[in-house]
């Protein structure tokens, strides 16, 4: 989770939030999605599918949910899990199977990799926390090999007939769950606000196409509050 959306003071504050929530991040993701988060991470890894002996970069890896799914799916794939938060990475390294992943603290706006280094890039809840969405996606395009795929798991602003109900649920239930499950209402109040303020899948898809990605698509999840997007770098 990179935090470049914010001025330096706010950036440090939000970075502190992610450091603080690392210990109950997985539990909250499971509770907030009624257990669906694990399946979404599995779907992201399957859609990325870099092929045998390929290389996959999982950005905003957090505690490693997508990276570990990718490593389990094909043990021949070299998986790198990168995140801004040292505490998230520390938690990731304690999980079963963590030895199959290379864990790296890195900034998604300035990736420490050469051009065309990876066959696939995945990410979970990164884009809503960055200021320069296009710049971050350009970095992913840069490190992808021709023909490589990017697969994105993100929150999605609600729309349609369910919009008022979903907005109420996100504004009220998410901070309440933060208080009950994690005893931390304030951190999840931030996550609630960033969810509702994030761009639509249509907007993100347009940015991907503008950068040069092709075969862009997406599928909404969980009453339209989450979305998986995918795209390919031309071969």
CA–CA separation, 235 vs 145, rounded Å?
8
Average pLDDT of span 183-194: 66
Instruction: Tell me which H or E stretch contains 202.
Output: helix 201-211
Average pLDDT of span 62-83: 97
153 by DSSP, 3-state: which? strand
Task: Among 9-18, 42-51, 209-218, name the one with the lowest average pLDDT.
Answer: 9-18
Q: In whole angstroms, how far apart are CA 14 and each of 18, 26, 64, 85, 220? A: 7, 18, 20, 11, 27
What does the pLDDT look like over 135-188, one tens digit per residue? 999 999 999 999 999 999 998 887 777 778 777 777 777 777 767 776 666 666
Angle (nearest 5°) at CA 153 between 145 and 37: 130
Question: Among 153, 149, 152, which residue's Cα sits nearest to residue 51?
Answer: 149
pLDDT more than 70, % of the chain: 86
pLDDT of residue 5: 35
147 by DSSP, 3-state: which? strand
DSSP 20-66: HHGGGHHHHHHHHTTT-HHHHHHHHHHHH---TT-EEEEET-TTTHH
95 by DSSP, 3-state: which? coil
| Domain annotation for the chain: domains and CATH numbers | 8-20+34-156+199-232 (3.40.50.150)
First vs last Cα of the chain: how many Å apart?
29
pLDDT at 122 over 60: yes
More confident residue, 7 or 120: 120
11 by DSSP, 3-state: which? helix
pLDDT at 8 over 60: no
CA–CA separation, 29 vs 37, rounded Å?
6
Q: Residue 9: which pLDDT band, with cuts at 50, 70 and 90?
A: very low
H-assigned helices in 64-200: 65-73, 86-92, 133-143, 163-182, 185-197
Average pLDDT of span 1-18: 51
Beta strand pairing call for 226-232 and 144-155: antiparallel
pLDDT of residue 167: 77
Q: Name the DSSP class of 131.
A: S
Average pLDDT of span 207-219: 98
Beta strand pairing call for 78-83 and 214-221: unpaired
pLDDT of residue 20: 75
What does the pLDDT look like over 84-114, one tens digit per residue? 999 999 999 999 999 999 999 999 999 999 9
pLDDT of residue 160: 76
pLDDT at 12 over 70: no
Average pLDDT of span 184-194: 66
The residue with tokens 């919009």 is: 163
pLDDT of residue 3: 35
Instruction: Specify whether the CB–CB gap between 220 and 154 falls below 8 A.
Output: no
pLDDT of residue 6: 39
pLDDT of residue 198: 84
Mean pLDDT of the chain: 88
Residue ranges at the known binding site for S-adenosyl-L-methionine: 63, 83, 107-108
Regarding pTM above 0.85, the answer is: yes
Residue ranges at the known binding site: 63, 83, 107-108
């Amino acid at each position: 989770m990179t935090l470049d959306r914010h001025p330096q003071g706010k950036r440090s504050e939000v970075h502190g939030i992610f450091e603080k929530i690392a210990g109950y991040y997985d539990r909250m993701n499971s509770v907030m999605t009624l257990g669906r988060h694990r399946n979404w991470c599995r779907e992201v890894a399957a859609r990325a599918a870099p092929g045998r002996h390929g290389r996959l970069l999982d950005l905003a890896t957090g505690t490693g949910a997508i990276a570990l799914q990718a490593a389990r799916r094909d043990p021949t794939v070299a998986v790198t899990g990168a995140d801004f938060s040292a505490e998230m990475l520390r938690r990731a390294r304690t999980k079963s199977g963590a030895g199959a992943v290379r864990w790296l603290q890195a900034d998604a706006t300035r990736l420490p990799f050469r051009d065309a280094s990876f066959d696939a890039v995945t990410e979970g809840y990164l884009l809503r926390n960055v200021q320069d969405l296009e710049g971050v996606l350009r970095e992913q395009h840069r490190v992808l090999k021709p023909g490589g795929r990017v697969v994105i798991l993100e929150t999605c602003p609600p729309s349609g007939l369910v919009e008022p109900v979903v907005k109420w649920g996100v504004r009220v239930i998410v901070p309440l769950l933060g208080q009950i499950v994690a005893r931390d209402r304030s951190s999840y109040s931030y996550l609630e606000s960033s969810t509702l303020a994030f761009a639509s899948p249509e907007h993100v898809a347009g940015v991907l196409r503008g950068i040069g990605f092709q075969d862009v698509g997406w599928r909404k999840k969980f009453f339209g509050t989450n979305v998986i997007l995918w795209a390919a770098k031309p071969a």
